[in-house]
Amino acid sequence: MRGGDAAAAAEEGSPRSPDLHDLSDDSDYAAAAAATASDHTAMRTDSADTGSDETTRIDVVYEKERVTIHPTQYGSGRISGKLRLFLQQGSLFLSWEPNEGDGSLSTSSVAVEIDKYRNLYTIKALPLSDVRFIRRHTPTFGLDYIIIVLSSGLAFPPFYFYNGGIRELFATLKQHVFIIRSDDDPNVFLVNDFQDPLQKSLSSLELPGVASVANAMSRQNSLSFTGSVDETRHADDGRHGAASSMSQYSSKQKPKSNDPGRDLSIQVLEKFSLVTKFARDTTSSLFRDNIGAHAYGRQQHGYALDNQASDKQKNQYVTPEKDYVPSAPVESDPIPLVWGKQRDRPLSVEEWTAFLDPEGRVMDSKALRKKVFYGGIDHVLRKEVWKFLLGYHEYDSTYAEREYLTAMKRAEYEAIKSQWKSISATQAKRFTKFRERKGLIDKDVVRTDRSVPYYEGDENRNVVVLRDILLTYSFYNFDLGYCQGMSDFLAPILYIMEDESESFWCFASLMERLGANFNRDQNGMHAQLLALSKLVELLDPPLHNYFRQNDCLNYFFCFRWVLIQFKREFSFEQIMLLWEVLWTHYLSEHFHLYLCVAILKRYRQRIIGEQMDFDTLLKFINELSGQINLDRAIQDAEALCTIAGENGASCIPPGTPPSMPIETDGGLYVQQDEVL
Amino acid sequence: MASRRRTLLKVIILGDSGVGKTSLMNQYVNKKFSNQYKATIGADFLTKEVQFEDRLFTLQIWDTAGQERFQSLGVAFYRGADCCVLVYDVNSMKSFDNLNNWREEFLIQASPSDPDNFPFVLLGNKVDVDGGNSRVVSEKKAKAWCASKGNIPYFETSAKDGTNVEDAFQCIVKNALKNEPEEELYVPDTVDVVGGNRAQRSSGCC
């Protein structure tokens, strides 16, 4: 620990005690006063791009070094930064900026990887009025940290205080905003937004995009769309009912542009043009591939990204057969995406056999994954191939090794299963967690895919097997336990495997990657929704802006898509195809996020045209279930993924599911509160 | 904004997993019951046009995932709620015991301007099951809880056969309107007079 920080000194000077957190404690004020005395330097800064006015004055009232985030669980994967509270025009803002070239990082490849994400987490100026609450965690072992949750529901990753200073933070907050401790949880501090719509709206208008977690990327592009800079000025002048007038204002503005669809497409093209030569080359090669593959059949339109992509005048739709054929009425987005490859036939038995050497090893796993990515798997082969895709079987294992493994794993499964099988009725009476967990699973298995013949009807034996596997899994991974959505994942797996133990291990392998979706703190989900928001910002700035203006940046309307990987959006047959495509991790481990972007882009015209607010959008997205053209969505997602390239990958923080979680000293799935 | 407040009533249904939230909503809106609902993931809502004292409203009924683990999503979904419907299963003590949690979590996340007077309605569902023989929470006990929380209206319902569902939602609409005057205060000054009238009329309804 380095000294020299007044706040840190103040913290060290006072002994830790359980009631340290009490905000009414006068010592808090003393500590804060001490911190403020040295730190409170009214400074003029150009770091905040909030005010064009040079005289905009920023008073820093709290500043703490070594406030660190842990995007991964690697020790070296930490980003240290500076947390600040500052006053500007009477409002309190919070900022966090990563240190430049942090010396504390090791030079490992992980650290280099992490470096790319440095700016992803930057908070430039978050108005405290946008904060719903701050939860403080003071674990017995390890560093204290806080989690900031916004009114929008978005949560920032935890901030770990290496130099202490949480107490001063709250004390300072208390001096400037109304903050109360939740009756329910003494570690939750509710931040009042003054109930002042004017103040709130002004602060959000002055700082477009502040609520998005990181806006370092393509900020300029965001601002250039539909004159949001003008809007800011407009609101600044008005200073009255600004929040409600903002959306009205922009809705008045938008239809005025002569051809919104065209304008938007140009925006998209411009954006794409920024994605370097690599993208152009790839795209034109995709374009050629398509011609070679007689791709005109279904997709009648596309556009080329040529070297003049940034030149609006020269950009035109390329309509290979002259006539522009609009897509189905429900999918009314006239902006065609760059083509993805035409979908291929499923992997056939002959092809599969050709992939195997005489002892049963998959000789070229990448080629296999590619084949599956483009065409899926013949149904009869799924039972065999899924085990590889899910990571239960190694590609380089032999027939004999797999047979042995299967036998071993069967015994292991039975051993785990016997743990709960042996719980007697009297024991269960005294084992509430078990009863509750079992009750939850019982409730869910009887409402999972019951319309599929395999699970149909009363007293269906397969439903019981579903239950047994899930309950066994909740013992195998007691920390994670059972969570709604798991039965959705398991049902197709059991249907394919038709074997309890094999299904269990396939499911367990899948949960190695997707278990974080079900963590109690919802970190896995927040990470994915954040990455999705970054991807939309990259691949469709106008849509991103629309979501921002309409308070939709939390992307909760995609929650179901992401949590269970589109299970509820497609038929049982289709979902097996989609999942095997996703499980190849061929173009990206996060292909499902590109799929989200692709589907949103398909419907962007309706979303923007009908001015959907959050509620309407959620309803709209939910009702797309069963309506989405899967092949086309996969093709679109493929094109987007290729175009986004490295820029896309850097939108997705390391460790984001379904990336493999990184091993830690403790458990992977430790739940902070309840076990259930 | 002002006109939207007058016609849209947002109602949130909360309660443990499997108590019948989705079924209640579907019984009320579509007059249908199915044994084949799936566990709700995330959130969804249905709307229904309702008439109350000569005024027409769009009732927006939000159905959310029942597992505690998903509670943190509430921030996004509970905003602007006019009434919160708590549901428990009369055959499950745990679902009844959890009502306090649901109520408190709702108040934290929705942070209504006047939490003490925010309208809740309690529904004890599944009264049809096993002819009432498997029931473990008595009506008396439920009513005592309601009394302790500021006289929350209480209904015993069956989403399966429709018992009391219509009546319960009538009450929900009525109570959702209690909250209306509060919201009307956000109407800009120019229509303040109208807002004042509205407030009086609404309080008359309750």
**Residue A190 and residue A132: Cα distance in Å, rounded?**
6
Residue of A nearest to B101 (CA): A184
Query: What number is the average pLDDT over the span A374-394?
Result: 98
Contact between chains at A244 and B39 (C-beta distance less than 8 A) = no
A268-277, A391-400, A645-654, B51-60 — most confident range: A391-400
**Residue A654 and residue A661: Cα distance in Å, rounded?**
9
Helices (H), A376-499: 379-389, 399-421, 425-429, 432-445, 461-476, 486-497
Q: Pick from A18, A91, A98: which is nearest to A58 by CA?
A: A91
Q: Pick from A599, A607, A592, A602: which is nearest to A531 by CA?
A: A592
**Residue A620 and residue B9: Cα distance in Å, rounded?**
19
| Pairing status of strand B55-64 against strand B8-14 | parallel
For residue B120, what are the β-bridge partners? B84
Q: Which residues of A touch B41 (CB under 8 A)?
A: 484-485, 488, 559-560, 563-564, 568
Would you state the structure tokens that stand for residue A104, as one six-digit string? 């504390």
Query: What number is the average pLDDT over the span A279-283?
Result: 39
Contact between chains at A484 and B38 (C-beta distance less than 8 A) = no
| Of A492, A513, A534, the domain-final residue | A513
Q: Which helix (H) or strand (E) holds B122?
A: strand B120-125
Question: How close B112 comes to chain A (CA, Å)?
Answer: 11
What would you report as the CA-atom Rg of chain B, rounded to the nearest whole angstrom? 17
Q: Which residues of A touch B125 (CB under 8 A)?
A: none
Mutation target vs A (from B70, B98, B185; most A CBs, 10 A cutoff): B70
Question: How close A619 comes to chain B (CA, Å)?
Answer: 7
Contacts of A388 (CB under 8 A, 6+ apart): A362, A365, A368, A394, A395
Residue A318 Cα distances to A304, A335, A539, angstroms: 6, 11, 20
Cα angle A321-A324-A330, degrees, rounded to a multiple of 5: 135
Question: How close A125 comes to chain B (CA, Å)?
Answer: 22
pTM confidence score: 0.65
Instruction: Write down the residue that tokens 């499997």 correspond to.
Output: B18
Coil/strand/helix, residue A137: strand
| Pairing status of strand A123-127 against strand A131-137 | unpaired
Question: How many other C-beta atoms lie within 10 A of the C-beta of residue B26?
Answer: 20
Residue of A nearest to B34 (CA): A447
Query: What number is the average pLDDT over the span A133-139?
Result: 82
Of A592 and A160, the structure prediction assigns the larger pLDDT to: A592
Q: Pick from A146, A141, A290, A121: which is nearest to A216 by CA?
A: A121
**Residue A295 and residue A287: Cα distance in Å, rounded?**
9
Domain definitions of chain B by residue range: 2-205
Would you state the structure tokens that stand for residue A416, as one six-digit string? 């785990």
Q: Which residues of A touch B37 (CB under 8 A)?
A: 447
Q: Any idea how long chain A is?
A: 676
Mutation target vs B (from A440, A523, A568; most B CBs, 10 A cutoff): A440
CB A145 within 8 Å of CB A70:
no
Residue B41 at interface with chain A, using a CB cutoff of 8 Å = yes
Could you report how far apart the first and last alpha carbons of chain B are, in Å? Answer: 23
Q: Is the pLDDT of residue A484 over 80?
A: yes
Question: How many other C-beta atoms lie within 10 A of the C-beta of residue A42?
Answer: 11
Q: What is the CATH number of the domain that holds A158?
A: 2.30.29.230
Q: Is the pLDDT of residue A4 over 70?
A: no
**Residue A401 and residue A252: Cα distance in Å, rounded?**
67
| Of A480, A513, A546, the domain-final residue | A513
Q: Pick from B9, B50, B39, B28: which is nearest to B125 by CA?
A: B28
Residue B112 at interface with chain A, using a CB cutoff of 8 Å = no
> Which of B67, B72, B111 lies closest to A484 in CB terms?
B67
The sign of the dihedral angle between the CA atoms of A105, A107, A110, A113 is positive
Query: What number is the average pLDDT over the span A20-37?
Result: 40
Residue B105 at interface with chain A, using a CB cutoff of 8 Å = yes
Residue A425 Cα distances to A429, A468, A625, angstroms: 6, 17, 42
> pLDDT, tens digit, for every residue of A306-333?
333 333 333 333 333 333 333 333 343 4
Instruction: Write down the residue that tokens 């080359």 correspond to.
Output: A281
**Residue A63 and residue A283: Cα distance in Å, rounded?**
47
Q: Is the pLDDT of residue A335 over 80?
A: no
Residue A145 at interface with chain B, using a CB cutoff of 8 Å = no
The count of C-alpha atoms lying within 13 angstroms of the C-alpha of B188, restricted to the half-sphere facing its C-beta, is 11
Which pLDDT belongs to residue A341?
84
Residue A570 at interface with chain B, using a CB cutoff of 8 Å = no
Which pLDDT belongs to residue A455?
97
Would you state the structure tokens that stand for residue A48, as one six-digit string? 């905040």
Helix and strand numbers (H, E) in chain A are 27, 10
Which pLDDT belongs to residue A42?
40
Mutation target vs B (from A489, A526, A564, A618; most B CBs, 10 A cutoff): A618
Coil/strand/helix, residue B47: strand
The count of C-alpha atoms lying within 13 angstroms of the C-alpha of A574, restricted to the half-sphere facing its C-beta, is 17
Query: What number is the average pLDDT over the span B86-95?
Result: 97
Residue A25 Cα distances to A30, A31, A165, A283, angstroms: 9, 10, 15, 62
Taking phi over 0 as left and psi of -120 to 50 as alpha, with beta for the rest, A171 belongs to alpha
Q: Pick from A264, A347, A343: which is nearest to A299 by CA?
A: A343
Question: How close B192 comes to chain A (CA, Å)?
Answer: 14
Percent of chain A with pLDDT over 90: 48
Q: Answer yes or no: is A320 within a domain.
A: no
Contact between chains at B17 and A484 (C-beta distance less than 8 A) = yes
A–B CB contacts, 8 A cutoff, strictly below: 100
Contact between chains at B73 and A448 (C-beta distance less than 8 A) = no
Number of domains in chain A: 2
Q: Is the pLDDT of residue A193 over 60?
A: no
Residue A6 Cα distances to A32, A33, A36, angstroms: 10, 10, 8
**Residue A304 and residue A338: Cα distance in Å, rounded?**
7
Residue type, B62: W
The sign of the dihedral angle between the CA atoms of A582, A555, A477, A134 is positive
CB A479 within 8 Å of CB A667:
yes
Which pLDDT belongs to residue A99?
84
**CA torsion, ordered A200, A203, A209, A214, to nearest 10 deg:** -100
Residue A537 Cα distances to A56, A96, A217, angstroms: 28, 21, 8
Coil/strand/helix, residue A116: coil
The CATH architecture that domain B2-205 belongs to is 3-Layer(aba) Sandwich (3.40)
Mutation target vs A (from B8, B41, B95, B100; most A CBs, 10 A cutoff): B41
pLDDT band at B181 (very low <50, low <70, confident <90, very high): low
**Residue A661 and residue A464: Cα distance in Å, rounded?**
31
Helices (H), A584-655: 591-602, 604-609, 614-623, 630-649
pLDDT band at A663 (very low <50, low <70, confident <90, very high): low
Q: Which residues of A touch B38 (CB under 8 A)?
A: 447-448, 488, 568
> Which of A195, A487, A520 lies closest to B69 in CB terms?
A520
Question: How close B49 comes to chain A (CA, Å)?
Answer: 16
Lowest mean pLDDT among A307-316, A545-554, A630-639, B142-151: A307-316
**Residue A473 and residue A467: Cα distance in Å, rounded?**
10
**Residue A369 and residue A365: Cα distance in Å, rounded?**
6
Q: Is the pLDDT of residue A245 over 70?
A: no
Q: Which residues of B touch A521 (CB under 8 A)?
A: 72
For residue B45, what are the β-bridge partners? B62
Question: How close B54 comes to chain A (CA, Å)?
Answer: 26
Residue B69 at interface with chain A, using a CB cutoff of 8 Å = yes
| Of A513, A547, A578, the domain-final residue | A513
> Which of B79, B108, B113 lies closest to A184 in CB terms?
B108
Q: Which residues of A touch B111 (CB under 8 A)?
A: 132, 190
Of A97 and A182, the structure prediction assigns the larger pLDDT to: A97
Q: Which residues of B touch A151 (CB under 8 A)?
A: 75, 79
Q: Is the pLDDT of residue A184 over 80?
A: no
Cα angle A487-A488-A494, degrees, rounded to a multiple of 5: 70
Percent of chain A with pLDDT over 70: 63
Q: Which helix (H) or strand (E) holds A127?
A: strand A123-127
Residue of B nearest to A244 (CA): B1
Q: Is the pLDDT of residue A464 over 60?
A: yes
Question: ipTM score of the complex?
Answer: 0.86
Contact between chains at A556 and B42 (C-beta distance less than 8 A) = yes
Residue B111 at interface with chain A, using a CB cutoff of 8 Å = yes
Q: Which of residues 142-171 of B touch A (CB under 8 A)?
A: none
Which pLDDT belongs to residue A1?
42
Query: What number is the average pLDDT over the span A98-106?
Result: 60
Q: Is the pLDDT of residue A194 over 60?
A: no
Question: How close A560 comes to chain B (CA, Å)?
Answer: 6
Q: Any idea how long chain B is?
A: 206
Contact between chains at B18 and A563 (C-beta distance less than 8 A) = no
Q: Is the pLDDT of residue A60 over 70?
A: yes
Residue A492 Cα distances to A1, A410, A414, angstroms: 52, 20, 21
Residue A554 at interface with chain B, using a CB cutoff of 8 Å = yes
SS (H, E, C) A272-284: HHCCHHHHHHHHH
The count of C-alpha atoms lying within 13 angstroms of the C-alpha of B18, restricted to the half-sphere facing its C-beta, is 18
Q: Is the pLDDT of residue A435 over 90?
A: yes
Question: How close B165 comes to chain A (CA, Å)?
Answer: 22
Contact between chains at B38 and A568 (C-beta distance less than 8 A) = yes
The rounded Cα A275 to chain-centroid distance in angstroms is 22
Q: Which residues of B touch A450 (CB under 8 A)?
A: 35-36
CB A662 within 8 Å of CB A655:
yes
CB A148 within 8 Å of CB A170:
no
Q: Is the pLDDT of residue B120 over 60?
A: yes
Which pLDDT belongs to residue A277?
35
Residue ranges making up the domain that contains A445 = 398-513
Residue A186 at interface with chain B, using a CB cutoff of 8 Å = no
Q: Which residues of A touch B68 (CB under 8 A)?
A: 674, 676
pLDDT band at B196 (very low <50, low <70, confident <90, very high): very low
Residue A484 at interface with chain B, using a CB cutoff of 8 Å = yes
